[in-house]
């Protein structure tokens, strides 16, 4: 009777196993597409910030100052409005440096290290913006194939590990309710 129940559970296990593996492959294969869209958006943020900085540099040049002198003049003016604008310009300079470093790191990352560099360099706001307009694609590149294969392996391993943990937990929970066999010892012969 117990064998009758094993077949449907094996069938269900195989179905879940394959479904999770396919979802992992398809999900990971989307990374190159998302990465390209993120990099494009990051480049747009960088170009806009640089455009704004050029305007401040031109204003500083008009007053025969360097940008650093222009910022220092604003910060040391003693007037709250000028001090706050000096802080904004200084933050813009820092933002541009951060965006440039991220853009260069992501652009120069190899196919195999992109995911790791992305995890180190991502900007959460830009990720949210990219995700809100993300368009999934069918990967037709070697990179998509590599990430898809990795996704298949990771999803399959995660499923099997979760299944093993659940099996151990099930045994622990049901152990007090299982019937224990009594060990039968052969009768001892007395001499």
Residue 168 domain flag: no
Percent of the chain with pLDDT over 90: 66
Q: What is the mean pLDDT of residues 153-166?
A: 93
- Range of weakest confidence among 58-67, 123-132, 177-186: 177-186
Burial, 147: exposed, middle or buried (Cβ in 10 Å; 0-12, 13-18, 19+)?
buried
Which of the pair, 62 or 10, is modelled with greater confidence? Answer: 62
Residue 162 pLDDT > 80: yes
Q: How confident is the model at residue 182 (pLDDT cuts 50, 70, 90)?
A: low
Structural domains of the chain, count = 1
| Domain membership flag for residue 53 | yes
Report yes or no on 144 lying in a domain.
Answer: no
Q: Domain for residue 79, yes or no?
A: yes
With b meaning 16 or more CB within 10 Å and e meaning fewer, what string describes 70-81?
Answer: bbeebbeeeeee
In a domain, 71, yes or no: yes
Q: How sure is the predictor about 81, in pLDDT bands with cuts at 50, 70 and 90?
A: confident
Residue 37: name the closest of 148, 143, 136 by CA: 136
pLDDT band, very low/low/confident/very high, at 188 (cuts 50, 70, 90): low
Q: For the segment 1-38, what is each residue's pLDDT rounded down to a tens digit?
A: 567 777 777 888 889 989 999 999 999 999 999 999 99
Work out the pLDDT band at 171, boundaries 50, 70, 90: confident
Residue 39: inside a domain: yes
pLDDT of residue 191 exceeding 60, the answer is no
44 domain-assigned: yes
- The predicted-structure confidence for 106-156, as pLDDT tens digits, reads as follows 999 998 899 999 999 999 999 999 999 998 888 888 889 999 999 999 999
Domain of 128 in residue numbering reads as 34-139
Residue 88 lies in a domain: yes
pLDDT > 70? residue 183: no
Token pair 């806009």 in the structure block, residue? 48
């Amino acid at each position: 009777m117990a064998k009758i129940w094993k077949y449907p559970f094996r069938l269900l296990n195989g179905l879940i196993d394959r479904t999770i593996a396919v979802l992992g492959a398809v999900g990971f294969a989307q990374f190159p597409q998302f990465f390209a869209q993120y990099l494009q958006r990051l480049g747009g943020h960088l170009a806009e910030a640089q455009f704004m900085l050029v305007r401040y540099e031109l204003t500083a040049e008009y007053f025969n100052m360097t940008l650093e002198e222009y910022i220092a003049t604003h910060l040391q003016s003693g007037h709250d409005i000028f001090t706050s604008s000096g802080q904004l310009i200084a933050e813009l300079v820092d933002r541009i440096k951060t965006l440039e470093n991220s853009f260069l790191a992501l652009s120069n990352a190899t196919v195999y290290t992109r995911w790791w560099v992305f995890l180190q360099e991502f900007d959460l706001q830009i990720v949210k913006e990219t995700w809100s307009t993300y368009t999934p694609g069918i990967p037709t590149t070697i990179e998509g194939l590599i990430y898809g294969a990795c996704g298949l392996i990771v999803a399959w391993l995660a499923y099997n590990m979760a299944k093993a943990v659940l099996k151990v937990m099930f045994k622990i929970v049901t152990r007090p309710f299982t019937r224990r066999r009594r060990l039968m010892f052969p009768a001892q012969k007395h001499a």
